[in-house]
Structure 1
Amino acid sequence: MSQPPRPHTDWKAPAGDGQMLIWPQPAELLRQTTDNHRMLSSADGVLIQGVPLTLLRGELRRGIGHAEADRPLLATGHQVELHHPGVWAKNILIDAAARKMGGVAYHFAVDSDQPKHLHLRLGGALRPITDDPELARVPWTGLLRSPSPPHLEDLLSAAAGAGHELLCGVLRDMQSRLGEQPRLATLLTQAIHGREQELGLGHRCMLTGSLWETTPFLVLLHHVLARADAFAEAYNAALLRYRRAEGSASPGRPWPDLRRDGDTCEAPFWLDWHRQRRRQRPVLQRSADGWVLTLDADRRFLFVAGRDAWSAADALRRFLSLSEVRLAPRALMLTLFLRLFVADQFVHGIGGGRYDQVTDTVIGSFLGMVPPAFAVTTATLYLPEAAQVQRVDLSALLREGRRIRHGLPNGRKADFVRRIDSAPRRSALRDRLFHEMHQAMAEQNRDALVAWERRLSAARLEAERQRRLFDRELFFAIQPRHRLLELIDKYRQALDNCGRP
């Protein structure tokens, strides 16, 4: 059954230092988590390749270490990167909510996305967290190598010189694990999680790469690709609906449609070639029996809607392994999988929350179920030095400039406007009055505009100087420990003060 999208707020990141956004309100978030848990635990009528969702969901949750079915699982996810405080706040919220509800929290570190935000700002310069020469070229983060010992030592020296205590802890942890972790994604994720535990957060953390080999994921993958045309129709219709609601004419927003051309159909996954270290958007070909994924003349896999789910998953696993390829989910499929197969509550940032409205529509139209509610959070922490600085407001100064440029005192402009309105359209009189009005404004405001332009020039220089101070997207571990603890305490108070779910 296709459900209309829930109304969502036009979320905005808070401008003030130390401020946070939690949507919906904490009490409602807890209630929705309980409702989601109840709904997903009884979704026996939702069949994935003929298997009840509840069965697949239970198997996956047990597989990641969550065997207590009655305990709610709150989750979030983000690609492996140097998270800024607004992203990191998602971990604080799931931890606080899990504590309140007696549940468990998981952060899923996505190592199958393209590398992004892997540079530290130290000493006024951007420094990569790894000296792997492939940093800017690899198609997914899981391919990146850990930094060399000399590179890590250089970063640690710069961080110590800047007084970044927590960042030094992250880098020392990475140093201690270098011999056992050749891949950056694992090394960095473990080091960051270790510092989170020191700050008192209790969520668990796991990389997503292993999930794409599980039976429940492969069953979902087979279910979708055996119905490639129906899924693409639902997917593209959901995108169209979102674009119309947003008033957007861009075919790439928030991402492109799945391409359909006759008997071919693009799949909503990545086809990753491990040995060649490349990826592509797979395209399936319709056959008399189903949909075919072709790797080359000798390697094909047929997705059939009526095939037994377990044998289909086993056959697909063997095919992918022998071919040394992987099918990894793109954005919508990734959150669809985590929201339906893993979590009782999934927490997004602002961007993810906006785009997951598309996922809601796909869940309703393709799977015929009411989508579980999700939550949104973010927070703002500037550098501590910004606390005593008055931030330049260029927008206010630009508005002042428009008022100066277009203003005349003592009602003169209103008089001009009245006379212009009364003059015949396209007449010489109307043109002359327009010219006289603009000439009068230029003469009247010349000195004020010169002074304003000087102030604007100085303000732009100051705004550029302040840009680093008021950058909310710097790695959270450069913040002093006490500021991070204060943010954690704010979230916990917000959850503790909202009553029982």
Structure 2
Amino acid sequence: MDPDWNDVPCADRQRKTRPGEAAEPGYLAYRACSDNHSALIEPPLGDAELLLKGNLDRQLSSFWAGLRTQSRAQLLGDARQYTSAYRDVPGATQTATTPRDSTPIVMAGHQPTLFHPGVWFKNFALQRLGGDLGAHAINLVIDNDVAAGRSIRVPMRDAIGRVYFSSVHYDEGGAGIPYEQAKIRDLRQFDRFDQEVRHAIAPLVANPLVSELWPHARAAIRRCEIAGCALAQARHRLEADLGWQTLEIPLGVAVRGLPFARFVMEMIDDAERFCQVYNDAADHYRAWHGIRSTAHPVPNLGREGDWLELPLWVYGNDHPTRRAVWVRRHGGQIELSDRRSSETARRSLLLPADDRDAAAEVLAESASPEFKLRPRALMTTMFARLLLSDLFLHGIGGGKYDQLADRIICHFFGVTPPALQVVSATVRLPGQDRDPERPHAMQVLQSRIRDTQYHGELWTQATAGRRQPLAQRKRELLEQMPSQGSRAQWHQDITHVNRELAAELQLQRQEMQAELQRLRLEASEEQILASRELSFCLFPRQDLVAAFEQMLR
């Protein structure tokens, strides 16, 4: 670690809690907006220029300034080359930038999935900021995460009109391994995905975006054969059709070469202290938020004998399941290993212990189809924020958990964490907004139903017929409540009157229960039809673009 990265102590420059936020400095609360067509942008988009300037003005040591220059040059060259494989890119013939290239880089990232519109809105904000700030806008495709199921949920109605979620698949299987390893298994199913989605969503949306997206996906899957790659490239190609000017690069490409290896060596060379800082940060986050699970937000790094766990994964084409990376100093060398019991499957690497630069070169040159070293979540964003970009846009989850990364950056590297922005949005299917009055109406009905069972005397109808003397008897009993001694007879009398009144109000109660059941069914259907988690490809393009434009005004 170079102690001269920043000459201002971290403790003096932690982010402060805003008025009304019950959080320690550095732990801001981010929540999705409940209103349709509403965005969370924190700090506001108008602050982006100041945030960028503040990040650029940080005083860096010569080592870290040089590593940033090297990282950015490689990133821009690789991103141009990668993106130009499937869409037009201005300046694509430039394989790298010169050391004097001072154009800022704004960056965002997400897994290569058919995500909800709130995530896509982040990409829209990214390209807008790139233009407004005169910056390179680059989206980092997080392809080292474990691939989820290969389907999207589509709201449908059955033969009798009940709403439910139906899963429409674009492939079979594929879960349990990283996105960059998950090859397509059923090309025919992939090819007809858009047709099945259109059929499923037709009663709700006449012109879903999947019709424009999927021709690009069919072309992409034949280039790369990887499902996640095809989805990301198709979405990015669609963004080109919309005029969005951004570059993209998979994380697996961005971490190739010397810059990432040198960054990793900063932690390997002081692994004991790094693991302590990492675990202390995770423990602090859990304690502050009252989280009991040791798996959230991230598990602590382990220690077994002289082995220390690092926040890295390793895997390869023959063995695509992610394995934790461990490090130890042994016999004058640094050994990295996944510590498999089988020598034939074990991945390990020896690095010189007395020459950090030479060790970084060995680490960089070790990359191969069978040795893919990848950062875990917090390490990914530390690398992206410290070395690759000048301003990073997170979603809600990333914004929450990267405050843990801020503590690691501060206490291990001794640097003020670069400012970031959190961007997300809520967009619902056309005509499927939530009814704000329904929850209150349900509460009122529940209260009135309970009153018919235990407080029948409160009903205005209980003033005529047989109910009137029962109500009068209830009032008398309440006025004559025994102050001490046995109340058994009094309780028995009250219970008897309540039952008699409840029997008299049975018809009204049944009517209200039926109305409550109807409202509950509507609320259940609303949870499906008005979900903010539906894939962006289910929406009409013009509706999404108009909503995005409106939310950035």
- TM-score band (shorter)? 0.7 to 0.9
TM-score scaled by structure 2?
Answer: 0.77
2:188 is aligned with 1:135: no
How far 1:373 moved relative to its partner?
1.0
CA contact (8 A) 2:154 2:168 kept: yes
The separation in 2 between residues aligned to 1:239 and 1:435, in whole angstroms, is: 56
AA at the equivalent of 2:61: D
Call closer, same or farther: CA 1:443–1:238 in 2, change over 3 Å. farther
Indicate the residue corresponding to 2:378 in structure 1. Answer: 332
Indicate the residue corresponding to 2:80 in structure 1. Answer: none
Call closer, same or farther: CA 1:252–1:154 in 2, change over 3 Å. same
Indicate the residue corresponding to 1:126 in structure 2. Answer: 167
Call closer, same or farther: CA 1:402–1:327 in 2, change over 3 Å. farther
AA at the equivalent of 1:36: N
Indicate the residue corresponding to 1:43 in structure 2. Answer: 60
The separation in 2 between residues aligned to 1:383 and 1:442, in whole angstroms, is: 47
AA at the equivalent of 1:103: A
- In terms of mean alpha carbon deviation, does 367-376 or 465-474 score higher? 465-474
Call closer, same or farther: CA 1:27–1:156 in 2, change over 3 Å. closer
The separation in 2 between residues aligned to 1:312 and 1:455, in whole angstroms, is: 71
The separation in 1 between residues aligned to 2:53 and 2:360, in whole angstroms, is: 31
CA contact (8 A) 1:145 1:183 kept: yes
Indicate the residue corresponding to 2:116 in structure 1. Answer: 84
CA contact (8 A) 2:38 2:551 kept: no
CA contact (8 A) 2:152 2:168 kept: yes
The separation in 1 between residues aligned to 2:49 and 2:480, in whole angstroms, is: 62
Call closer, same or farther: CA 1:410–1:199 in 2, change over 3 Å. same
Q: Deviation per CA, 1:220-261, whole angstroms, max 9, x where unpaired?
A: 112212322211111111111111221222222212111124
- In terms of mean alpha carbon deviation, does 245-254 or 358-367 score higher? 245-254
1:477 to 504, 516, 537: 537
CA contact (8 A) 1:226 1:290 kept: no
1:354 to 390, 394, 400: 400
What secondary structure does 2:432 align onto? helix
CA contact (8 A) 2:261 2:363 kept: yes
2:34 to 5, 8, 15: 15
- In terms of mean alpha carbon deviation, does 353-362 or 466-475 score higher? 466-475
The separation in 2 between residues aligned to 1:168 and 1:415, in whole angstroms, is: 71
Indicate the residue corresponding to 2:516 in structure 1. Answer: 456
1:405 to 441, 446, 450: 450
The separation in 2 between residues aligned to 1:242 and 1:435, in whole angstroms, is: 53
The separation in 2 between residues aligned to 1:417 and 1:272, in whole angstroms, is: 73
How far 1:214 moved relative to its partner?
2.1
Indicate the residue corresponding to 1:236 in structure 2. Answer: 279
2:538 is aligned with 1:468: no
CA contact (8 A) 1:143 1:183 kept: yes
The separation in 2 between residues aligned to 1:258 and 1:441, in whole angstroms, is: 60
- In terms of mean alpha carbon deviation, does 293-302 or 332-341 score higher? 293-302
The separation in 2 between residues aligned to 1:173 and 1:343, in whole angstroms, is: 28
How far 1:32 moved relative to its partner?
0.9
Indicate the residue corresponding to 1:64 in structure 2. Answer: 75
1:144 to 158, 182, 195: 182
CA contact (8 A) 2:394 2:422 kept: yes
The separation in 1 between residues aligned to 2:252 and 2:403, in whole angstroms, is: 25
AA at the equivalent of 2:516: L
Indicate the residue corresponding to 1:497 in structure 2. Answer: none
Call closer, same or farther: CA 1:300–1:136 in 2, change over 3 Å. closer
How far 1:127 moved relative to its partner?
1.9
How far 1:36 moved relative to its partner?
0.9
Q: Which has the higher contact order (CA 8 A, sep 6+)?
A: 1
The separation in 2 between residues aligned to 1:456 and 1:304, in whole angstroms, is: 71
Call closer, same or farther: CA 1:466–1:2 in 2, change over 3 Å. same
Call closer, same or farther: CA 1:410–1:76 in 2, change over 3 Å. same
1:257 to 257, 276, 300: 300
- In terms of mean alpha carbon deviation, does 239-248 or 399-408 score higher? 399-408
The separation in 2 between residues aligned to 1:367 and 1:374, in whole angstroms, is: 18
Q: How does 1:72-471 map to 2 (within 5 A)?
A: 72-116=104-148, 118-121=150-153, 124=156, 125-129=166-170, 131=171, 133-137=172-176, 139-146=177-184, 148-161=186-199, 162=202, 163-287=206-330, 289=332, 291-294=334-337, 300-302=348-350, 306-309=354-357, 311-321=358-368, 324-387=370-433, 390=435, 393-394=438-439, 397-398=442-443, 400-402=445-447, 405=450, 408=455, 428-429=486-487, 447=506, 449-471=509-531
How far 1:402 moved relative to its partner?
4.5
Call closer, same or farther: CA 1:11–1:348 in 2, change over 3 Å. same
The separation in 2 between residues aligned to 1:454 and 1:468, in whole angstroms, is: 22
AA at the equivalent of 1:307: D
Call closer, same or farther: CA 1:300–1:160 in 2, change over 3 Å. closer
How far 1:172 moved relative to its partner?
0.9
CA contact (8 A) 1:292 1:303 kept: yes
2:50 to 10, 31, 36: 31
The separation in 1 between residues aligned to 2:306 and 2:500, in whole angstroms, is: 69
How far 1:415 moved relative to its partner?
12
Identity over aligned pairs, percent = 25
The separation in 2 between residues aligned to 1:415 and 1:76, in whole angstroms, is: 70
Call closer, same or farther: CA 1:410–1:35 in 2, change over 3 Å. same
Q: Which one has a bigger Cα radius of gyration?
A: 2
TM-score scaled by structure 1?
Answer: 0.84
- In terms of mean alpha carbon deviation, does 227-236 or 116-125 score higher? 116-125
How far 1:176 moved relative to its partner?
2.9
AA at the equivalent of 1:34: K
Structure 2: unaligned runs, 5 residues or longer: 1-8, 18-26, 78-96, 157-165, 460-470
Q: Deviation per CA, 1:436-493, whole angstroms, max 9, x where unpaired?
A: 7777767666646544432232222223333331121122122112112212312442
The separation in 2 between residues aligned to 1:438 and 1:212, in whole angstroms, is: 73
The separation in 2 between residues aligned to 1:256 and 1:222, in whole angstroms, is: 22
RMSD: 3.4
How far 1:136 moved relative to its partner?
2.6
What secondary structure does 1:65 align onto? helix
How far 1:300 moved relative to its partner?
4.5
Indicate the residue corresponding to 1:48 in structure 2. Answer: none
Call closer, same or farther: CA 1:293–1:453 in 2, change over 3 Å. same
How far 1:359 moved relative to its partner?
0.4
Call closer, same or farther: CA 1:117–1:381 in 2, change over 3 Å. farther
The separation in 1 between residues aligned to 2:354 and 2:495, in whole angstroms, is: 75
- In terms of mean alpha carbon deviation, does 464-473 or 143-152 score higher? 143-152
